[in-house]
């Protein structure tokens, strides 16, 4: 309390102290004197005078440029009106005269109420500015309940005890009515202001309650015989109430706790109000209860009904909102995995019902390729942005009845009713086309691709998890294979579950569980084997020797490419060093993936590996595919230059698929061109003439740029002969030798006669 008064001027504090002291002394005197003993000077003038000072102190709070003057002004006016009433009564009853009923003093006493109502209303309004309708109704229930209780007790007795003419009864009744209303306001306000109930409010509330008690005592005292308790209460209640009201305007409200300020009010007061209303109505069926009290009780219960209706409505809205939130993906606003399952579950439940016709459903499982790299290179905000843009884009190529959901991470799903696998794959193609259009993310433009797996129900699955699993397997197949869209077939399923494979792959990387096969490159001028290409394989306990195209995309996706490539380099260079030690000065070619080139430590790791195996840089050639180079030309150009700086050879693998990169070639520091295999395979066909012309042109171009030209994929003697005739430098292919373990590779010089190696075990 002391802290709350700290900004109050000293004069005001001293005056309140003095008034408090006088009040306590008066209280003591009331207790010790006889009930019938009264003093016009003390009971009349001293009390009235004190009250005037109290009223002036209250008004003084409104002086100065402070904000919020209305409340002290109103309360001050109310208290002053009361004090004037006391002065008038003292005048009217001077010299032992009996004041008339009603008297002019009553008019001033009653003038107190309107001022205080408005002040209390303002306080509640200020404190509860942003309250909900429900809170207001709670306040109304509590207030009406309190009013009903007060009316039940006050009015019954008053009507029984107070006699006199109509005006006198009205004057007497005006006080309890005024008090009941004030009490209702105070109780209602207290309900409304949880966490906002401050010192000033509580003091004001206590004062109003005390005032009502004083009024009640006064009524009964004036009618019945006086008692000490009655006289004491009668004398002390009003001056105390008025003093408290006056002090309340000077108190500073305590700081609001932001955590409790938003809490809605408890149920105690409204609950009591409702219970009171109910009890009064119940008792009213047996005993006579004042009509006003019954009316108030009825109003309380009607408000309770309203409040309940409101609660039910809010609860329903809340339930709907929670349901919506539970089914929605926060980032994209699309449905989430939960919604997907709920839809699928109800689809399968409907289909299980034999009374209705079975329907078909296709599920498309979409997984973005290399999304992790987008996150890593551009940041998670950009990744999120892309996912957000993706939703509307995909939705635009779907029918309104198709459902698009985000299954999680970079996985999306589409549900299409009554769709055949054929229709579903046409939708998948449309989606893929939309998806491959570039995305603009915070000033950078990125292109993405995806893999889509399609499964249909009830053909592929008869429950939700099974359908998702089938589509997932098909998607995984799409990731590994040539086509980026795959429809689920039983055959795919035999390959095993994708997640399991990723874990097995991770373990294999940890244990170095890979083997390299080597495929010789024939020097077409000398007939010597002067180089080999290292090709990785994964010996798998269940799946056998897994070819690289079946697990490298998975390693890439799982972020395992870096350690895997390190293993491959180590093993290839160890083998190369062994050959060198044997006197075979072979060059080993090693393939690298796009993510290896993005790795900033890549060139250093190549240099270290060469040093570890004590090999000259010229013993190593690194193969980078043409599509990789086109994908990130700037970065590749830089890495190629650094590798060449080390003295390592760099080859453009799978070159010539479209001759798109010829223009770039001159600016790259590469040392070798490796013609695309598909392109070579067609040479020996009957219409291979045009291809031969193209190969010749490419070889000439390569030579003009000072590059070695290697042809791969040579499967027959005719092709080998043609390549020799156009001036190709090196040749590689099954016809010469299949890739095989180092110990099996035939490195002896080429003889035109078919080599037994060419038909040996393929890998």
Q: Which residues bind ligand C2E (CB under 6 A)?
A: 519, 534-536, 547-549, 552, 568, 591-593, 623, 653-654, 677, 712-715, 733-734, 739
The dihedral built from the CA positions of residue 230, 236, 240 and 241, taken in this order, carries a sign that is positive
Q: Which residue is nearest to Ca ion (CB)?
A: 623
Q: Which is nearer to ligand C2E, 35 or 548 (CB)?
A: 548
Which CA distances in Å does 165 have to 31, 103, 162, 174, 337?
Answer: 34, 14, 10, 14, 79
- 611-640 binders of Ca ion (CB under 5 A): 623
- Provide the minimum distance between the beta carbon of 456 and ligand C2E in the complex, in angstroms, as a whole number: 32
Place of tokens 């690289």: 548
State the DSSP H helix or E strand holding residue 728, giving kind and residue range, or none if neither: none
> H or E segment at 38?
none
Nearer to Ca ion, 423 or 664 (CB): 664
460 binds Ca ion (CB under 5 A): no
DSSP-assigned beta bridge partners for residue 129 = none
Q: Of ligand C2E, Ca ion, none, which one sits near residue 226, judging by CB under 5 to 8 A according to partner kind?
A: none
- Per CB under 5 A, does 591 bind Ca ion? yes
Judged by CB, which is closer to ligand C2E: 190, or 591? Answer: 591
- Identify which of 392, 366, 395 has the alpha carbon closest to the alpha carbon of residue 455: 366
Choose between 360 and 716: whose C-beta lies nearer to ligand C2E.
716
SS3 content of the chain, % helix, strand, coil (to 5): 60, 10, 30
- Per-residue interface string for the shown chain with Ca ion, residues 649-688, x marking contact by CB under 5 A: ----xx----------------------------------
Q: Which does 592 bind (CB under 5 to 8 A by kind): ligand C2E, Ca ion, none?
A: ligand C2E
User: Residue 600 Cβ, how far from ligand C2E at the closest point, in Å?
Assistant: 18
Residue 519 interface partner, choices ligand C2E, Ca ion, none, CB cut-off 5-8 Å depending on type: ligand C2E
Min CB(549)–ligand C2E separation in Å: 5
Least distance in angstroms from the C-beta of 640 to Ca ion:
15
Q: How far is CA 345 from CA 133, 390, 402, 469, 655, in A?
A: 40, 26, 16, 15, 50
Secondary structure (3-state) at 623: strand
Q: With CB under 5 A as the rule, give the number of residues binding Ca ion.
A: 4
Residue closer to ligand C2E by CB (options 87, 636) is 636
- For residue 466, the minimal CB distance to ligand C2E (Å) is 32
Q: Are strands 672-675 and 450-457 parallel, antiparallel or unpaired?
A: unpaired
H/E segment holding residue 591 = strand 587-591
- Sequential DSSP letters for 477-507: HHHHSS-SEEE--HHHHHT--HHHHHHHHHH
Strands (E), 51-147: none
**Close Cβ partners of 760 (under 8 Å, ≥ 6 residues apart):** 738, 740, 744
Q: 367 or 623, CB closer to Ca ion? A: 623
Counting every residue written for the chain, the total comes to 763
In the complex, minimum distance from the CB of residue 569 to ligand C2E, in angstroms, rounded to a whole number? 9
**β partners of residue 623:** 591, 651
Closer to ligand C2E by CB, 135 or 621: give it.
Answer: 621
Q: How far is CA 594 from CA 419, 441, 446, 477, 633, in A?
A: 37, 22, 15, 21, 11
Residue 444 interacts with which of ligand C2E, Ca ion, none, CB < 5 to 8 Å by class: none
Distance CA 249, CA 246 (A): 6
Nearest residue (CB) to ligand C2E, 99 versus 558: 558
Q: Please, what is the minimum distance in Å from the beta carbon of residue 556 to ligand C2E?
A: 9
Query: Around Cβ 594, how many Cβ atoms within 10 Å?
Result: 19
Q: Is 138 in the site for Ca ion (CB under 5 A)?
A: no
- In the bound state with ligand C2E, the residue whose beta carbon lies nearer, of 387 and 552, is 552
- List the single partner that 714 binds among ligand C2E, Ca ion, none, CB under 5 to 8 Å by kind: ligand C2E
Tokens 């798998």: give the residue: 540
Helices 104-127 and 70-92, packing angle to 10 deg: 160
* Window 139-168: contact mask with Ca ion (x via CB under 5 A): ------------------------------
* DSSP 8-class letter at 670: -
Question: Residue 535 touches which of Ca ion, ligand C2E, none (CB < 5 to 8 A by kind)?
Answer: ligand C2E
> Which string of DSSP letters, residue by residue, matches 416-482?
EET--HHHHHHHHHHHHHHHHS-EEETTEEE---EEEEEEEETTT-SSHHHHHHHHHHHHHHHHHSS
User: What does the block give as tokens for 62?
Assistant: 């409104």
- Tokens standing for residue 127: 């404190």
As given in the structure block, the two tokens for residue 76 are 């001050």
Given ligand C2E, Ca ion, none, residue 450, with its beta carbon under 5 to 8 Å by kind, binds none
Q: Interacting stretch for Ca ion, rule CB under 5 A, among 174-182, 325-333, 591-599, 695-703?
A: 591-599
The least CB distance from residue 630 to Ca ion, in Å, is 15
In the bound state with ligand C2E, the residue whose beta carbon lies nearer, of 214 and 733, is: 733
361-368 and 403-408 as β-strands: parallel, antiparallel, unpaired? unpaired
In the DSSP assignment, the letter for residue 381 is H
CB of 565 to ligand C2E, least distance (A): 6
**Residue closer to ligand C2E, measured from CB, 652 or 714:** 714
Q: Which does 603 bind (CB under 5 to 8 A by kind): ligand C2E, Ca ion, none?
A: none
Minimum separation from the CB atom of position 681 to ligand C2E (A): 7
Q: How far is the CB of 757 from Ca ion (least distance, A)?
A: 20
DSSP state of 756: G
Q: Of all helices (H) and strands (E), which one includes residue 207?
A: helix 199-223
CB of residue 654 vs Ca ion: minimum separation in angstroms?
4
C-beta of 307 vs 517, nearer to Ca ion = 517
CB 653 to Ca ion: min, Å? 4
**To the nearest 10°, the Cα dihedral for 281, 286, 288, 294?**
10
DSSP string, 141-185: HHHHHHHHHHHHHHHHHHHHH--S-HHHHHHHHHHHHHHHHHHHH
Nearer to ligand C2E, 53 or 718 (CB): 718
Residues lying near Ca ion in the complex (CB under 5 A) are found at 591, 623, 653-654
């Amino acid at each position: 309390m002391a802290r709350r008064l700290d900004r109050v001027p000293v004069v005001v504090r001293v005056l309140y102290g003095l008034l408090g002291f006088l009040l306590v002394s008066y209280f003591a005197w009331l207790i010790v004197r006889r009930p019938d003993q009264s003093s016009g000077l003390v009971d009349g003038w001293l009390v009235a005078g004190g009250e005037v000072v109290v009223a002036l102190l209250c008004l003084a709070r409104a002086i100065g440029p402070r904000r919020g003057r209305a409340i002290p002004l109103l309360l001050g006016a109310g208290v002053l009106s009361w004090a004037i009433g006391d002065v008038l009564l003292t005048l009217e009853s001077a010299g032992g005269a009996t004041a008339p009923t009603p008297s002019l003093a009553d008019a001033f006493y009653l003038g107190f109420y309107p001022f205080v109502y408005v002040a209390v209303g303002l306080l509640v309004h200020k404190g509860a500015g942003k309250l909900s309708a429900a809170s207001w109704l709670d306040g109304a229930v509590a207030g009406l309940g309190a009013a009903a209780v007060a009316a039940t007790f006050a009015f019954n007795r008053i009507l029984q005890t107070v006699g006199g003419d109509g005006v006198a009864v009205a004057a007497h009744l005006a006080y309890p009515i005024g008090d009941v209303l004030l009490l209702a306001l105070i109780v209602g306000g207290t309900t409304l202001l949880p966490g906002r109930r401050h010192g000033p409010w509580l003091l004001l509330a206590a004062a109003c309650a005390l005032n009502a008690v004083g009024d009640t005592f006064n009524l009964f005292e004036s009618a019945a015989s006086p008692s000490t308790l009655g006289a004491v209460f009668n004398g002390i209640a009003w001056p105390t109430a008025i003093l408290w009201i006056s002090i309340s305007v000077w108190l500073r409200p305590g700081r609001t706790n932001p955590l409790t300020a938003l809490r809605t009010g408890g149920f105690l007061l409204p609950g009591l109000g409702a219970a009171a209303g109910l009890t009064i109505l119940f008792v009213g069926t047996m005993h006579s209860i004042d009509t006003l009290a019954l009316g108030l009780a009825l109003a309380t219960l009607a408000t309770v009904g309203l409040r309940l209706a409101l609660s039910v409505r809010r609860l329903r809205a809340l339930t709907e909102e929670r349901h919506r939130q539970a089914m929605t993906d926060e980032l994209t606003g699309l449905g989430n995995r939960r919604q997907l399952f709920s839809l699928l579950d109800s689809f399968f439940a409907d289909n299980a019902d034999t009374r209705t016709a079975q329907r078909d459903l296709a599920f498309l499982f979409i997984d973005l390729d290399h999304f992790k790299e987008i996150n890593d290179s551009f940041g998670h905000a950009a990744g999120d942005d892309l996912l957000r843009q993706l939703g509307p884009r995909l939705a635009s190529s779907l029918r309104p009845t198709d459902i698009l959901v985000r299954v999680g991470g970079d996985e999306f799903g589409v549900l299409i009713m009554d769709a055949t696998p054929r229709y579903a794959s046409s939708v998948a193609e449309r989606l893929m086309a939309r998806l491959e259009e570039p995305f603009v993310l915070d000033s950078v433009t990125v292109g993405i691709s995806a893999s889509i797996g399609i499964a249909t129900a009830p053909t592929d699955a008869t429950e939700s998890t099974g359908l998702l699993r089938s589509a997932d397997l098909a998607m995984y197949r799409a990731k590994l294979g040539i086509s980026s869209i795959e429809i689920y077939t039983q055959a795919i399923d035999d390959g095993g579950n994708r997640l399991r494979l990723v874990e097995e792959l991770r373990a294999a990387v940890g244990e170095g569980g890979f083997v390299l096969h080597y495929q010789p490159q024939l020097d077409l001028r000398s007939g010597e084997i002067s180089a080999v290409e290292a090709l990785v394989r994964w010996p798998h306990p269940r799946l056998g020797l897994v070819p690289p195209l079946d697990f490298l995309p998975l390693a890439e996706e799982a972020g395992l490419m870096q350690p895997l490539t390190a293993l491959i380099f180590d093993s290839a260079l160890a083998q190369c060093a062994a050959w060198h030690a044997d006197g075979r000065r072979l060059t080993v070619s090693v393939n690298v993936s796009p993510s290896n080139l993005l790795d900033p430590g890549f060139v250093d790791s190549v240099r270290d590996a060469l040093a570890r195996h004590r090999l000259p840089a010229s013993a190593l050639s690194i193969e980078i595919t043409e599509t990789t180079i086109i994908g990130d030309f700037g970065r590749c150009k830089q890495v190629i230059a650094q590798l060449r700086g080390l003295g390592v050879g760099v080859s453009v693998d799978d070159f010539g698929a479209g001759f798109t990169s010829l223009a770039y070639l001159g600016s790259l520091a590469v040392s070798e061109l490796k013609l695309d295999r598909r392109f070579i395979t067609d040479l020996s066909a009957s219409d291979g003439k045009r291809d031969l012309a193209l190969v010749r042109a490419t070889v000439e171009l390569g030579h003009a740029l000072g590059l070695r030209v290697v042809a791969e994929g040579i499967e027959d003697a005719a092709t080998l002969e043609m390549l020799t005739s156009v001036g190709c430098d090196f040749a590689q292919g099954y016809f010469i030798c299949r890739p095989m373990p180092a110990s099996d590779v035939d490195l002896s010089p080429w003889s035109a006669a078919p080599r037994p190696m060419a038909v040996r075990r393929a890998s």
